[in-house]
Each structure stands twice: as C-alpha cells, then as structure tokens.
C-alpha cells in the first residue's frame, strides 16, 4: 500500500513563513519586528496544527482508565484497555500495565469516562454523491405531494441563481408516497400547479431511489420517449401521456445536465463531512456510474481521498460488457480507493412495487413486480465478470429476484473458490427458506440494511400479506442459515448514521421505541445480537471488500482506523443507544473528526 500520504498544507506553511520573513527583513531590517513576526507565525501555525489534531505524536496509545473499553473485534471478540498507534498502523493492544512496560514513556490519551474505541465503522451500502445531492433539497418527512411542492417552491425562492434562471434543472430527493394519505402516484400536474415551480425542469427522486417524479418541462426536455422500456415503467394517463412518474429503468430516460466538477466536489464534501461526523471511516459505494467513477479516480489520483471508498461500478445491461476492458483498481491513490466490484440490478424496490416476487402483491394482485433485466443476461455476464477478476454484487429485493440471482451465482460458482470471489446479494431483502439455505451453502454474502427493516415494517404486511412478510428482513434466519452478512444503510435512502443501523438491527423498533408488533420489536426473533451488529459494521464489511487483513479490527499490523464513541453501545440500555455521540473518527492514525 503506498504511504506517500500528503501532510495537508504543512510544507506550504513552512515556505510561507520563510518568504514572509525574507520580505520583512528586506523591507525594514528591524530585528524586533522579525522576532515578533516569527513568534506570531509560529503561534499561528501551532494553533492551526493543534486544530488539525497534528500534535499527536507519531506513536501514541489510547486507553480507558480502569476498564476494557477497546473492542478489538478479532476472532475471540477481545476487549482490552489500550490500543497503540504507530504512524498509520495499529502497533499493539493490551492492558495499561503491559503497554507502559513495553512502550516506555509513550504518550497516552485517556478516554473520557464511559467512552469506547471501536474499529472504524464501515457502511457496506451507500451512495456518496447521491447523498450530497439529496442534501440540497431534502424531501424526507414531507406529508403530502403539496408539502413536497411547497418545499420545491421555497428552495427556488431561496436560491437566487435558480430563481433567476428558469432553465436550471432542480433536483430534490427523499419523497415517500407510502407516508401520504393520498393514494396513487404524484404527477407533473402537482408540480405545475405552483406558480413559482411551473415551467421549470424539476426532477425529484423517491426515498428508495427507484422512482423519479418530474415536472412537465422535464418531460418535454426529454422527448421523444419510447412507448415502453424494459425493466421500467413510464406511468401514463388514460390518453397515453406520461403523468410525470418514471420507475426503475425508465428513470434513465430523463435528460439531465452534465454536472460540473465544482458541483461533484460540493456533493462529495457534504457526504464526507457527514460520514466523518457519524464515525464512518469507510464506505462501500453501491453504484458508480462512469461520471462518478471518473470523479473518484481523479480525487484518488490527487492522493487526498479523505475516506475509504470501496466502489461498485454499474453494469448497464444494454451497454456492451466492459469487465475485460476496464481493470479493477485496488487501494489506489493514497490507498483509499478500490474499484473491483460490479453492481447489477436484478429488480426494483418493495416500496415502489417494483421488486420481483414469486406471487402477486397482496395489495395489488395485478402484478408480481418485475426484473430489471432478462435473467439470461445474469447467466451470461456473471461468469464473465468472475473470470475477469470482478466481485459481483447484485441488487435483489423480491424473493423471485433473489432466487434467480442465486441460480446464476450457483451456475458460475461451480468448482470455484468462493472465498476468492465473495459474491454479494445487495439487500437480500425477501428470501424463501430454501434460498436462505442455499445462500449459506454457496457462501454468498448478504449485504443487508437494518434501517430499511424499521422503515418498511409499517407497510410491509400490506404489500406481502401475513405469511410472506415473515421472509422479509429475516436477518436471524439468514445468519442461522450459515450465510455471512454485512451491514449498510443505503444512504441517502436512510440516514447515514451507523448507530441507527446498529439500533435497528438489535431492536427492530423505530427510534421512538415502537413497532407494529409492540415495544418488543417487529418479528423480534429476527434480531441480531449486539456482537453480530458490531461485527456487521466492522470486520464483516472488511471481508465483503477483501480488506479483512488490513481493516475491520484493531489487530496489530492493521490500518489505524477507529471510532471513539461517548458510551458503550454494547452494554447501554437499548433506549440509550441512539443518544451515543461520536467523539472522534480516526483514519490512518489521524483524526478526521473530533479529537483524541
């Protein structure tokens, strides 16, 4: 792994100091002034480096004063008192006594009362740039289509460059029609009804990212549209005109402007800032389009990626196979960007009725959802990607989609070493008992999102009926079938906060302690243990990204990525988990958020 880590602007600071001194000398020759200036500059750069946390020595220890509050997350689930960092690596763990003895006068930072050190938290499924975009005009919590339109209106009025230029495309995201009392989809007419919004191109992404609700200007700019599209739906009225709602593959039909580098960077910085605040040191980005992939590569090349990104590149079933022309990248840039996996979409989402089920939807007997590609394509390209060295991660929600993908995995894994390939089912949301058993036998990883479970638990039974709903988010059954899991949030679909995922996995309740099955949680027999949930956010994502030898635990020789929390999430009462604060997020031995 390259270690040419750039040290921020410290070198530049030195140079600036020298030239300032030279200038002062040349101008006045006054020694007092030089002395004063030098002291001031030295003081300034001291404060600056102090703020950046650079006063940490190269080698330091973090210890709890009197109990074992360092969770190593090794095979034995060791808890100990101290962890020693040497530069970018974990150099040791052990009791305070043993560390003092071995490391002499090493600088020790003591944890605040009750705080814990965990391996750096990782999100196995999120969307980095989409998160940054969604933060611009967030539509979460809107109570009706009119509420959404009102937010769009306010956003336009508050953003002069958009207010003044009617051609600017307005993006928003996070609306959720399942939370509205109105039935049916929102329409372009809803947007056009507002005098400020009318006539502007507006593109609003649904909470699950499987639907776009757009204005008539956005439709007009995208004409001509095909009659139908495979793996997607253009919702139309009686006379056949698009109503303004585009599902799954139909979303690609909308013309969107090229994003500038500045806009990409803005989105990226927003996402990274929040990830650091939430204690994340690593994110698996579950879908890079060519533009995002190129952006991440440019960032990595500069050697300054502020977080670890494990990227999955989209496979477009209508584009030529690319697995043999693009090469996987491993730990490129400053060691923080890896793109060695491909993301394939099998079906849509449960919320928008696009997930492919074996039987019809309970609340819509006209459909059993749809696949977003012909199953033959899976059987064709999965073996190719595998042969060309790519990890294959397939989005599958419905039980039919999961079954078909497992068929395809099974066919391509014959005689293969599954440990070398580590195929993943992204979501693995609803599976038959037989398929769970198959998942375990094949060694396919289930990449699951506990916060989806507590979001969907309120309407899932309507969609699926009382029997089939039991096979949805059945995390305990998946683990008991011998399958590996790894946890994620699917941000911006859900909050990025990994503690929300931890809480959802171990309680199966909403943040206010409720569930459709009462205060004991929704299908409480499917809860994960806290230990499983912690592993699911640390060592399991490391395994799922081929990095378990360098990340995911605080074992000697691994990268010094860790997260310091204000209290022990492994022992606090359930209802206090969500009041835990992140004290510090540390990557390669250096705090990127907070202080130690």
> Residue numbers of the site for ligand NAG (CB under 6 A)?
321, 324-325, 384
Shortest spacing between CB 325 and ligand NAG, in angstroms = 6
- At its nearest, how many Å lie between ligand NAG and the CB of residue 496? 37
Q: Which region, judged by CB under 5 A, interacts with Zn ion, from 180-188, 235-243, 285-293, 559-567?
A: 285-293
Name the residue number minimizing CB distance to ligand NAG: 324
| ∠ CA 145-496-396, rounded to 5° | 75
By CB under 5 A, tell whether 312 contacts Zn ion: no
558/115 Cα distance (integer angstroms):
22
Which of the choices Zn ion, ligand NAG, none does residue 325 contact, using the CB cut-off of 5 to 8 A by kind?
ligand NAG
d(CA 582, CA 1): 28
**CA dist list (Å): 242 to 192, 226, 238:** 14, 11, 10
Determine if 490 is a binding residue for Zn ion (CB under 5 A).
yes
Residue 37: how many other CB atoms lie within 10 Å: 17
Name the residue among 509, 452, 450 with its Cα closest to residue 485: 450
Taking the complex as a whole, the smallest distance from the CB of residue 307 to Zn ion amounts, in Å, to 18
Would you say 380 or 480 has its CB closer to ligand NAG? 380
Closest to ligand NAG by CB, 324 or 579: 324
Q: Which is nearer to ligand NAG, 323 or 403 (CB)?
A: 323
Instruction: Provide the 3-class DSSP secondary structure of residue 87.
Output: coil
Please give the Cα distance from 391 to 385 (Å, whole number).
7
For the CB of residue 382, give the shortest distance to ligand NAG in the complex, in Å. 13
73 binds, among ligand NAG, Zn ion, none (CB under 5 to 8 A by kind): none
* Closer Cβ to Zn ion, 332 or 393, answer by number: 393
Contact indicator for 448, 417 with CB cutoff of 8 Å: no
Q: Which listed option, ligand NAG, Zn ion, none, makes contact with residue 490 (CB within 5 to 8 Å by class)?
A: Zn ion
Q: Which of 141, 290 has the CB closer to ligand NAG?
A: 290
Nearer to Zn ion, 132 or 521 (CB): 132
Binding to Zn ion in span 218-237, by CB under 5 A = none
Q: How far is the CB of 180 from Zn ion (least distance, A)?
A: 23
433 φ, ψ (degrees, to nearest 5): -55, -45
- What is d(CA 207, CA 209) in angstroms, rounded to the nearest whole number? 5
Task: Give the DSSP per-residue string, 444-507.
Answer: -EEEE-HHHHHHHTTTHHHHHHHHHGGGBS-HHHHHHTT--EEE---BTSS---HHHHHHHHHH
CB nearer Zn ion, residue 73 or residue 286: 286
Least distance to ligand NAG, CB of residue 342, Å = 14
Min dist. Cβ of residue 397 to Zn ion (A):
10
Q: Which is nearer to ligand NAG, 315 or 361 (CB)?
A: 315
Using the rule CB under 5 A, which residue among 106, 118, 133, 286 binds Zn ion? 286
User: What is the 3 state secondary structure string of 345-403?
Assistant: ECECCCCCCCCCCCCCECCECCCCCCECCCHHHHHHHHHHHHHCCCEEEEEECCHHHHH
* CA–CA separation, 117 and 61 (whole Å): 12
How many whole angstroms separate alpha carbon 195 and alpha carbon 163?
Answer: 12
Among Zn ion, ligand NAG, none, partner that 30 touches (CB below 5 to 8 angstroms by kind)? none
Minimum distance from CB of 506 to ligand NAG (Å)?
A: 45
Size of the site for Zn ion (CB under 5 A): 2
């Amino acid at each position: 792994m390259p270690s040419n880590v750039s040290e921020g602007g410290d070198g530049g600071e030195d140079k600036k100091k020298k030239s300032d001194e030279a200038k002062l000398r040349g101008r006045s020759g006054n020694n007092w002034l030089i002395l004063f200036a030098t002291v001031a500059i030295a003081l300034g750069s001291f404060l600056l480096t102090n703020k950046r946390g650079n006063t940490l020595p190269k080698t330091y220890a973090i210890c709890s004063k009197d109990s074992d509050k360092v969770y190593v997350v090794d095979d034995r689930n060791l808890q100990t008192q101290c962890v020693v960092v040497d530069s970018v690596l974990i150099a040791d763990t052990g009791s305070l006594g043993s560390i003092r003895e071995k490391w002499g006068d090493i600088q020790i930072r003591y944890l605040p009362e009750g705080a814990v050190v965990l391996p750096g938290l990782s999100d196995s499924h999120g969307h980095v740039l989409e998160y940054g975009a969604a933060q611009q005009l967030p539509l979460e919590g809107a109570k009706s289509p009119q509420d959404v339109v009102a937010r769009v209106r306010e956003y336009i009025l508050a953003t002069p460059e958009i207010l003044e230029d009617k051609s600017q495309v307005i993006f928003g995201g996070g609306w959720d029609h399942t939370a509205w009392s109105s039935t049916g989809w929102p329409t372009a007419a809803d947007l056009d009804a507002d005098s400020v919004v009318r006539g502007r191109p507006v593109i609003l992404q649904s909470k699950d990212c499987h639907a776009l609700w757009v204005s008539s200007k956005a439709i007009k700019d995208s004409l001509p549209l095909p009659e139908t599209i495979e793996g997607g739906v253009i919702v139309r009225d009686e006379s056949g005109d698009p109503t303004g709602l585009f599902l799954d593959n139909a979303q690609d039909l909308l013309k969107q402007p090229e994003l500038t580098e500045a806009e990409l960077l803005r989105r990226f910085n927003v996402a990274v800032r929040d990830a650091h605040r939430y204690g994340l040191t690593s994110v698996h980005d579950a879908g890079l389009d060519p533009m995002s992939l190129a952006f991440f590569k440019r960032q990595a090349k500069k050697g300054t990626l502020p977080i670890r990104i494990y990227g999955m590149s989209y496979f477009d079933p209508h584009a030529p196979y690319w697995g043999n022309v693009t090469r996987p990248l491993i730990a490129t840039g400053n060691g923080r960007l890896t793109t060695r996996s491909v993301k394939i979409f099998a079906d849509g989402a449960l919320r928008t009725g696009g997930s492919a089920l074996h039987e019809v939807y309970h609340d819509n007997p006209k459909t059993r959802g749809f696949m977003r590609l012909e199953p033959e394509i899976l059987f064709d390209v999965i073996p190719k990607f595998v042969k060309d060295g790519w990890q294959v991660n397939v989005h599958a929600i419905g039980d039919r989609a999961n079954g078909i993908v497992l068929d395809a995995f099974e066919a391509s894994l014959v005689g293969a070493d599954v440990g070398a390939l580590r195929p993943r089912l992204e979501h693995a949301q609803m599976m038959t008992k037989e398929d769970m058993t198959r998942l375990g036998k094949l060694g396919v990883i289930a990449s699951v999102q506990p916060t989806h479970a507590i979001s969907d638990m309120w309407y899932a039974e309507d969609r699926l009926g009382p029997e089939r709903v039991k096979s949805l988010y059945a995390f305990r059954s998946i683990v008991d079938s011998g399958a590996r899991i790894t946890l994620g949030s699917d941000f911006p679909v859900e909050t990025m906060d990994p503690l929300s995922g931890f809480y959802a996995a171990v309680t199966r309740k909403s943040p206010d302690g409720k569930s459709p099955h009462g205060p004991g949680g929704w299908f409480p027999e499917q809860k994960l243990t806290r230990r499983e949930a912690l592993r699911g956010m640390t060592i399991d994502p490391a395994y799922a990204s081929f990095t378990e030898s360098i990340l995911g635990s605080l074992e000697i020789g691994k990268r010094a990525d860790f997260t310091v929390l204000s209290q022990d999430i492994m022992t606090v009462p359930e209802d206090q988990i969500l009041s835990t604060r992140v004290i510090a997020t540390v990557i390669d031995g250096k705090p990127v958020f907070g202080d130690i």
